[in-house]
């Protein structure tokens, strides 16, 4: 019956933990045996020493006999040394590997999940999974196992010794308060953990605001908000003290409580055991032994509560990690995938779209026809849905069936990874990794493209900027390196996108921080180089689109106009109004002398 219950629980175990145990149970078993061996061997040397002392005192031993005993003690010590090494290696080592495995699984999942998942999950929350939750798992699979084994073994041995060597009835009665020790340790352990987390949170608040103030000191001073900042800091500092005091109070309560409960066991032992001595049921020596054993039981009981607490925390962390691992990508992989060769023929039919979990429609009845080798321009106000369309084309969000077709095949039938091989995409927000410029440009392609880095940097009009840096292409950017200007970041990001030889190239407003003429030069050169490849450019600067085969004008999620630059300028519509405005701005700039 009981075994069935245990089996049921094992079946319900998280697959992550179950698979891990399946592969590693033998290591755990050996580790636990080694641990028990250490615990038992520990008892041998004092006993040997005692016997030896008695024999020396009675003069019933010669030098050889003494050496035999000493060698025996040394051998036992050596055995303990080995067993200690083994349990550490087996139990802790295995737990470390489990934590590593969990982190890798989490990371793999992060790379798989679609964009929309990250819209809903705060990044701090995700980071906590990688750090706190994995640490809690490691505690559960290492320290808790060790403590549990130790505490169980010690309490069983001590308990048996008390009952066997002294008296079972006395043992049972004196141990009544002891489970209470475990309970107190469990509840307080939980409280301490909660308050400890609060302390850490308050502390990170404190560092965050200090950091903010230091890095934004110019804003603080120019806005004359020193008082406000001081007030904010002072409040958080007070909260920091309060949370620390809360923790200290509980620590202060804990030990007296342990002593009180342990002490009540001793009182019971004194009353009942004393009576037994008087009535001759046990000897005085037995009574003394009993009290020493009773004291030895306190620690394992406290440890038991601690272990339960660590296990509860580990299980909660496992649940949180499981939630991420079970997260389904909103963009489902096709049931019967079609790995079509993509050349750049794109058709969009009556596409209407709202973001998942959001009612507002951001694309309304979009129709487009793009052919291989075309230069397609897309323009329109901010928020009109241009980037959303591109994200659908890249399968970052799910498009409705029967709306987007590549080479005549529904995009939902094309596997995401396959699709990405055919598209190089430069996003609106430039992003550089904290490494060298060269590695940044080579990020999405093989090492063998190394020789082309300069060529593409030139195409992106950033080569001269780069050679001006102290280490040229080996200059490190980001936190630990130099800071690039917005325009430089955009152009390096562009070089990264362009170096990937894909039949479809999409630039999503990725040159906004670069001046118009440079943008125009880049696009003109790029168009020449791409030849028969399809180029889609999103931009606000209509001059850049002058040579486009077709331009789509977006407004409030709809395409309001389409045609070539000349056609659109000759119509009296949004495009012409935008164009005239931009011409006027340019004239003003020229007149202001530049
Ligand atoms: N992840 C998202 N979730 C919900 N709404 C979004 C998301 N991204 C963009 N939007 C909304 O969709 C609309 C179109 O945005 P976007 O396609 O980025 O416009 P554009 O690129 O033309 O400036 C905007 O109203 C924007 O607020
Ligand atoms: Mg956009």
Measured from the CA of 390, which atom of ligand 1 is nearest?
17
Q: Which CATH number do you get for residue 255?
A: 1.20.1560.10
The verdict on 276 and 325 lying in the same domain is yes
Measured from the CA of 389, which atom of ligand 1 is nearest?
17
Residue 341 Cα to ligand 2 midpoint, Å, equals 28
Task: For residue 69, give its domain range.
Answer: 1-112
Neighbours of ion ligand 2 (CB under 5 A): 387, 428
Chain-centre distance for alpha carbon 492: 28
Domain presence at residue 578: yes
The verdict on 408 and 432 lying in the same domain is no
Q: Quick check: CB of 76 below 6 Å from ligand 1? A: no
Q: Quick check: CB of 387 below 6 Å from ligand 1? A: yes
Cβ within 8 Å of residue 410, ≥6 positions away: 401, 402, 404
The verdict on 257 and 319 lying in the same domain is yes
Task: Count the domains in the chain.
Answer: 4
* Residue reference for tokens 């005692």: 50
Q: Which residue's CA is minimally distant from atom 9 of ligand 1?
A: 388
* Pick from 477, 482, 480: nearest CA to 495: 477
The verdict on 105 and 252 lying in the same domain is no
Q: How far is 343 from 371, CA to CA, in rounded Å?
A: 9
Q: Which ligand is nearest to the CA of 385?
A: 1
The verdict on 519 and 472 lying in the same domain is no
Domain presence at residue 101: yes
Q: Quick check: CB of 382 below 6 Å from ligand 1? A: yes
Residues 324 and 109 sit within 8 Å (Cβ to Cβ): yes
pLDDT for 295 equals 85
Residue 362 Cα to ligand 2 midpoint, Å, equals 12
Domain presence at residue 69: yes
Question: What is the 3 state secondary structure string of 331-353?
Answer: CCCCCCCCCCCCCCCEEEEEEEE
Pocket test for ligand 1, best of 121, 387, 428, 553 (most atoms within 8 A of CB): 387
The verdict on 171 and 311 lying in the same domain is yes
3-class secondary-structure state, position 208: helix
Cβ within 8 Å of residue 401, ≥6 positions away: 410, 412
Measured from the CA of 380, which atom of ligand 1 is nearest?
22
Q: Quick check: CB of 358 below 6 Å from ligand 1? A: yes
pLDDT for 1 equals 47
Q: What are phi and psi of 94, to 5 degrees?
A: -65, -40
Pocket test for ligand 1, best of 116, 366, 383 (most atoms within 8 A of CB): 383
Q: How far is 244 from 252, CA to CA, in rounded Å?
A: 12
Note down pLDDT in tens along the chain; length 594 residues.
Answer: 456 666 666 667 888 888 888 999 999 999 999 999 998 888 788 778 888 888 888 888 888 888 988 898 899 999 999 999 999 999 999 999 999 999 999 998 888 887 878 888 877 778 888 888 899 999 999 999 999 998 999 889 888 988 888 889 999 998 888 888 888 888 888 888 888 888 888 888 888 888 888 888 888 888 888 888 899 999 999 999 999 999 899 888 888 888 899 889 889 989 999 999 999 888 888 888 888 888 888 888 888 888 988 998 898 899 989 999 998 877 778 888 888 999 999 999 999 999 988 899 999 999 999 999 999 999 999 999 999 999 999 998 999 999 999 999 999 999 988 998 899 999 988 989 989 999 999 988 888 888 899 999 999 999 999 999 989 999 999 877 788 989 999 999 999 999 998 999 999 999 988 888 999 999 999 999 998 999 999 999 999 999 999 999 999 999 999 999 999 999 999 999 999 999 998 888 877 765
Instruction: Using the 3D structure, point to which of 501, 517, 544 is the last residue of a domain.
Output: 501
* Pick from 353, 423, 349: nearest CA to 385: 353
Question: What are the DSSP calls for 504-549, one per residue?
Answer: EEEEESTTTTS-HHHHHHHHHHHHHHHTTSEEEEE-S-GGGGTT-S
3-class secondary-structure state, position 574: helix
Residue 456 in tokens = 């593409």
> First-to-last CA distance in the chain?
89
How many of the other CB atoms lie within 10 Å of CB of 134?
Answer: 20
Q: How far is 483 from 432, CA to CA, in rounded Å?
A: 10
Residue 362 Cα to ligand 1 midpoint, Å, equals 7
Instruction: Using the 3D structure, point to which of 464, 484, 501 is the last residue of a domain.
Output: 501
Residue 395 Cα to ligand 1 midpoint, Å, equals 15
Strand 534-538 to strand 558-563: parallel, antiparallel, or no bridges (unpaired)?
unpaired
The verdict on 158 and 170 lying in the same domain is yes
The verdict on 511 and 566 lying in the same domain is yes
Domain presence at residue 335: no
The verdict on 271 and 319 lying in the same domain is yes
Q: Which ligand is nearest to the CA of 379?
A: 1
> 474: which DSSP letter?
G
Phi-psi region of 534 (alpha: psi -120 to 50; beta: other; left: phi over 0): beta
Q: Quick check: CB of 119 below 6 Å from ligand 1? A: yes
Strand partners, 558: 555
Q: Which residue's CA is minimally distant from atom 3 of ligand 1?
A: 355
Question: What are the DSSP calls for 407-468, one per residue?
Answer: TTEEGGGS-HHHHHHTEEEE-SS----SSBHHHHHTTTS-GGGGGGHHHHHHHTT-HHHHHT
Measured from the CA of 391, which atom of ligand 1 is nearest?
17
Q: Which residue's CA is minimally distant from atom 21 of ligand 1?
A: 387
Q: Quick check: CB of 474 below 6 Å from ligand 1? A: no
The verdict on 507 and 492 lying in the same domain is no
The verdict on 570 and 446 lying in the same domain is no
How many of the other CB atoms lie within 10 Å of CB of 568?
Answer: 25
CA distances (Å), origin 291, targets 23, 153, 273: 44, 19, 9
Residue 170 in tokens = 């006395």
* Pick from 321, 432, 355, 318: nearest CA to 117: 355
Q: Which CATH number do you get for residue 591?
A: 3.40.50.300
Domain presence at residue 357: yes
Residue 210 Cα to ligand 1 midpoint, Å, equals 34
The verdict on 354 and 487 lying in the same domain is no
Q: Which ligand is nearest to the CA of 382?
A: 1
How many of the other CB atoms lie within 10 Å of CB of 571?
Answer: 11
Strand partners, 482: 477
Q: Which ligand is nearest to the CA of 383?
A: 1
Instruction: Using the 3D structure, point to which of 303, 330, 357 is the last residue of a domain.
Output: 330
Measured from the CA of 508, which atom of ligand 1 is nearest?
21
Residues 436 and 475 sit within 8 Å (Cβ to Cβ): yes
């Amino acid at each position: 019956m009981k075994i069935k219950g245990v089996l049921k629980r094992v079946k319900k175990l998280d697959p992550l933990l179950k698979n891990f145990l399946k592969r590693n149970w033998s290591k755990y078993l050996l580790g636990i045996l080694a641990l028990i061996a250490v615990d038992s061997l520990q008892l041998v040397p004092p006993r040997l020493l005692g016997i030896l002392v008695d024999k020396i005192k009675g003069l019933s031993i010669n030098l050889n006999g003494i050496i035999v005993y000493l060698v025996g003690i040394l051998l036992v010590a050596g055995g303990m040394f080995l067993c200690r090494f083994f349990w550490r290696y087996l139990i802790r080592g295995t737990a470390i590997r489990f934590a590593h495995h969990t982190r890798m699984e989490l990371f793999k999942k992060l790379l798989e999940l679609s964009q929309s998942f990250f819209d809903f999950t705060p990044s701090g929350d995700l980071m906590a999974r990688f750090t706190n939750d994995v640490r809690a798992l490691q505690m559960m699979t290492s320290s808790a196992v060790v403590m549990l084994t130790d505490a169980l073994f010690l309490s069983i041995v001590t308990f048996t010794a008390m009952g066997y060597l002294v008296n079972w009835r006395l043992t049972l009665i004196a141990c009544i308060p002891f489970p209470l020790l475990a309970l107190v340790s469990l509840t307080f352990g939980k409280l301490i953990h909660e308050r400890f987390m609060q302390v850490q949170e308050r502390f990170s608040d404190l560092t965050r605001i200090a950091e903010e103030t230091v890095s934004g000191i110019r804003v603080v001073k120019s806005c004359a908000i020193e008082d406000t900042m001081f007030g904010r800091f002072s409040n958080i500092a007070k909260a920091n003290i309060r949370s620390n005091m809360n923790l200290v109070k509980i620590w202060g309560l804990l030990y007296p409580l342990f002593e009180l409960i342990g002490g009540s066991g001793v009182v019971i032992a004194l009353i009942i055991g004393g009576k037994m001595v008087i009535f001759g049921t046990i000897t005085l020596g037995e009574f003394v032994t009993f009290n020493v054993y009773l004291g030895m039981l306190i620690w394992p009981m406290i440890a038991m509560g601690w272990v339960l607490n660590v296990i509860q925390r580990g299980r909660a962390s496992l649940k949180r990690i499981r939630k991420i691992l079970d997260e389904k990508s909103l963009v489902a992989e096709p049931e019967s995938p079609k790995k079509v060769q993509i050349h750049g023929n794109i058709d969009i039919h009556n596409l209407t779209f709202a973001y998942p979990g959001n009612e507002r429609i951001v694309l309304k009845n979009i129709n487009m026809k793009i052919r291989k080798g075309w230069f397609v321009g897309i323009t329109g106000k901010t928020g009109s849905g241009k980037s959303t369309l591109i994200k659908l084309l890249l399968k970052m969000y799910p498009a409705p069936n029967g709306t987007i077709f590549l080479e005549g095949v529904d995009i939902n039938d094309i596997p995401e990874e396959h699709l990405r091989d055919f598209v190089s995409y430069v996003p609106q927000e430039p992003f550089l990794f904290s490494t060298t410029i060269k590695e940044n440009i080579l990020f999405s392609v093989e090492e063998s493209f190394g020789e082309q880095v300069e060529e593409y940097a030139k195409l992106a009009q950033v080569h001269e900027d780069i050679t001006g840096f102290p280490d040229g292409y080996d200059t490190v950017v980001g936190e630990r390196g130099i800071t690039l200007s917005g325009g430089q970041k955009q152009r390096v990001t562009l070089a990264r996108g362009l170096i990937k030889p894909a039949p479809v190239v999409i630039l999503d407003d990725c040159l906004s921080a670069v001046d118009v003429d440079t943008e125009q030069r880049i696009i003109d050169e790029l168009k020449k180089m791409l030849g028969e490849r399809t180029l889609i450019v999103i931009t606000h600067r209509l001059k850049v689109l002058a040579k486009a085969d077709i331009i789509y004008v977006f407004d409030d999620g709809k395409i309001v106009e389409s045609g070539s630059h000349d056609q659109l300028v000759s119509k009296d519509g949004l495009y012409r109004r935008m164009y005239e405005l931009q011409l006027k701005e340019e004239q003003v700039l020229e007149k202001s002398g530049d």
